[in-house]
A and B are shown apart, each in its own frame.
Chain A
């Protein structure tokens, strides 16, 4: 008979080995094949004053994506790589949980790219949607907010050419809008920061459909302006050029093309924007605050349809003047709109508070009215730095 003499450490070693069999893996592991990746969501209401929220969530179906092996060669309506599900609920979370009944996999919100809010919901106020979006631990604040005239489910169903999943298309559109300056890109963090501010009005980008041949394409443009107060309600819009005027003042124009006629001819000159710096100095007068806004804009000569030499000193001075004039026109348009809506989208109230908190305490109560009446002293310094590969147009008169 063999007597096994197992010492303590040998026993421990065997026990630990046994542990590895039953203790590997995670308590609540989620494999990629078991989760439904939500990349886009939309909210709307039937009417402005209705209680129920209509929530649309967009989930990727990986096996239908052309990048996956075995997927269909061409994507058609039958085998599109995403699915949209619309559900009603008394709150967002309620609607989200209701959609779970239709997905076999659990939804994962960590890759949310765009949040599309319908017109009715935006008019009713969108604070109530923000709570879920910033409270849940899976969601990230990098998702973009878009306001749509059409129903969100329509926008989330638009197929674009480059990218097959509409919500990711929309993310790309917002990001590329930075290069034209025609739409403001606002993610959840930026929106929240404006929402929590005492005076700055929240903004978001707008999205609409554009007819292109047989099908409709999504188009991101402009700025939606929300009211301050208990509920952030949609109160107005800025169009493309007004949006750029607004973005000039908050120093967020990364790139873009400014075109204007070059008198005395009616021919167009286009300047590419290269950089945009802004300095805002408030002056505290008895009548009300005066803001000295100084813009420093650097551009490059992008295209001239004017058949003349624009590199001479006189022409350059004239070009700079016309360029500044065009920028001023856009800025003034946006300011007129903001003043009309009494919505401080520029954050001027914050600047007053930062520079002179005592003065701010006095004017805080009726800031919207004071903003609407306040004066702006706009100075624009432009510089046209580069002229590209040619000096003047090939045929000059």
Chain B
């Protein structure tokens, strides 16, 4: 395997891209005007997820997810679990690529066939993966600050349309919906950080690992929270019927007949942030598969796995309606085992082994 080194700063930026890259997901669907509470709850729940994941990584410094699983569960069970992880990363890519290409098809490239958008975009991501993690990390250093400035600057222009009464009354959500919404938001926004377990061994300063991931996660969460607050304050009850509330909000910007039609800027920002997100997950998937089969070089796997990912995207869903109901009703149940349950079981196994070993010594 190649020798790559990335800095904690770059790692943090990539975490931001993973979290904030979920902005196309239907965030406001369940909780409506109480979404902001659910996002804060999801940040707390997400911290527990990330705690489990990073603890696992720090227990085995320098080992990635595949090696950790093989060390904990042994060769046979380890391979099965790792194959499941490969499958999960593939599904993540399929979800993201479908989401993104649907979005572009609906808003920008109306007459381009959706598979063309998906394939071209995945080729770009594949190229980034071919060039390696260092390239993706360096790319994030340029892209993320520009995106944050562009999005915040654009959202600043809509402040005249703010109506804070849209937030009232607080907490009219039922407890079931609150729990459902926060847990699905945790899975959508923060749980995907699990793919960094493949990348963590490349970091050049392991002492700053945990703070980098946590700060990245909170900053990304804050961006999502900001977007959601804007959506509630400006769109109010009309957000319920929008496919892309954040974009609808930007379409409403009309300051002095000069600052209008800003959505192109925001779509471009979405493009870059989702590019980073898919590139990272793609890299994790390819590296994961290569490690399972003990390949010396992961590059031959990039193209075939990408082809499988695109195909999977179009087999899984027909339209955004399918996709929405899957994300709301099925995705958390599918994803949380990978994101939280398996790392937690791994930690338990380590803990039991340790206590057994100490008992024997006594």
A contact residues vs B (CB 8 Å cutoff): 27-28, 134, 137, 140-142, 189, 192-193, 196-197, 350-351, 353-357
- What A residues does B165 contact at CB under 8 A? 350-351, 354
Residue pair B240, A196 in contact (C-beta under 8 Å): yes
Residue pair B252, A137 in contact (C-beta under 8 Å): no
Q: Is the interface of A mostly helix, strand, loop or mixed?
A: helix
Residue pair A28, B112 in contact (C-beta under 8 Å): yes
Residue pair B169, A196 in contact (C-beta under 8 Å): no
- What A residues does B106 contact at CB under 8 A? 137
- What A residues does B248 contact at CB under 8 A? 141
Residue pair B109, A355 in contact (C-beta under 8 Å): no
Q: Of residues B106, B238, B252, B260, which shows the largest number of chain A Cβ atoms within 10 Å of its Cβ?
A: B238
CB within 8 Å for A141 and B251 given contacts A353-B169, A357-B172: yes
CB within 8 Å for A28 and B168 given contacts A141-B251, A142-B252, A196-B237: no
- What A residues does B322 contact at CB under 8 A? none
CB within 8 Å for A141 and B252 given contacts A28-B109, A193-B236, A196-B241: yes
**How near does chain A come to B168, taking the closest CB pair, in angstroms?**
4
Residue pair A189, B238 in contact (C-beta under 8 Å): yes
Beyond A27-B109, A189-B252, A193-B236: 9 further Cβ-contacts under 8 Å?
A: A27-B111, A28-B110, A137-B106, A137-B107, A142-B254, A196-B237, A196-B241, A353-B169, A357-B169
- What B residues does A356 contact at CB under 8 A? 169
Q: Of residues A27, A134, A353, which shows the largest number of chain B Cβ atoms within 10 Å of its Cβ?
A: A27
Residue pair A28, B237 in contact (C-beta under 8 Å): no
- What B residues does A141 contact at CB under 8 A? 248, 251-252
A356 to B170 Cα, complex, angstroms: 10
Nearest-neighbor residue (CB-CB) of A140 within chain B: B251
Residue pair B112, A27 in contact (C-beta under 8 Å): yes
CB within 8 Å for A193 and B238 given contacts A140-B251, A142-B254: yes
- What B residues does A134 contact at CB under 8 A? 241
A27 to B168 Cα, complex, angstroms: 46
**How near does chain B come to A168, taking the closest CB pair, in angstroms?**
12
B contact residues vs A (CB 8 Å cutoff): 106-107, 109-112, 165, 168-169, 172, 236-238, 240-241, 248, 251-252, 254, 260
A193 to B161 Cα, complex, angstroms: 13
- What A residues does B107 contact at CB under 8 A? 137
A27 to B165 Cα, complex, angstroms: 44
Contact partner of A193 (CB less than 8 A), chosen from B111, B112, B237, B260, is: B237
- What B residues does A351 contact at CB under 8 A? 165
A112 to B241 Cα, complex, angstroms: 21
What are 26 pairs between A and B in contact, CB < 8 Å?
Answer: A27-B109, A27-B111, A27-B112, A28-B109, A28-B111, A134-B241, A137-B106, A137-B110, A140-B251, A141-B248, A141-B251, A142-B252, A142-B254, A142-B260, A189-B252, A192-B238, A193-B236, A193-B237, A193-B238, A196-B240, A197-B237, A353-B169, A354-B168, A355-B168, A357-B169, A357-B172
A189 to B163 Cα, complex, angstroms: 13
**How near does chain A come to B24, taking the closest CB pair, in angstroms?**
15
The 10 nearest A-B residue pairs measured at CB: A354-B168, A28-B111, A357-B169, A196-B237, A27-B112, A192-B238, A193-B238, A142-B254, A354-B169, A354-B165
**How near does chain A come to B46, taking the closest CB pair, in angstroms?**
29
A213 to B260 Cα, complex, angstroms: 39
**How near does chain B come to A281, taking the closest CB pair, in angstroms?**
13
- What B residues does A189 contact at CB under 8 A? 238, 252
A160 to B102 Cα, complex, angstroms: 44
A136 to B107 Cα, complex, angstroms: 10
Residue pair A196, B111 in contact (C-beta under 8 Å): no
Nearest-neighbor residue (CB-CB) of B106 within chain A: A137
- What A residues does B252 contact at CB under 8 A? 141-142, 189
Nearest-neighbor residue (CB-CB) of B117 within chain A: A27
**How near does chain B come to A150, taking the closest CB pair, in angstroms?**
29
A355 to B251 Cα, complex, angstroms: 31
**How near does chain A come to B111, taking the closest CB pair, in angstroms?**
4
- What A residues does B109 contact at CB under 8 A? 27-28
- What B residues does A197 contact at CB under 8 A? 237
A168 to B238 Cα, complex, angstroms: 27
A358 to B172 Cα, complex, angstroms: 10
- What B residues does A353 contact at CB under 8 A? 169
- What B residues does A28 contact at CB under 8 A? 109-112
Residue pair B251, A196 in contact (C-beta under 8 Å): no
A196 to B33 Cα, complex, angstroms: 14
Nearest-neighbor residue (CB-CB) of B168 within chain A: A354
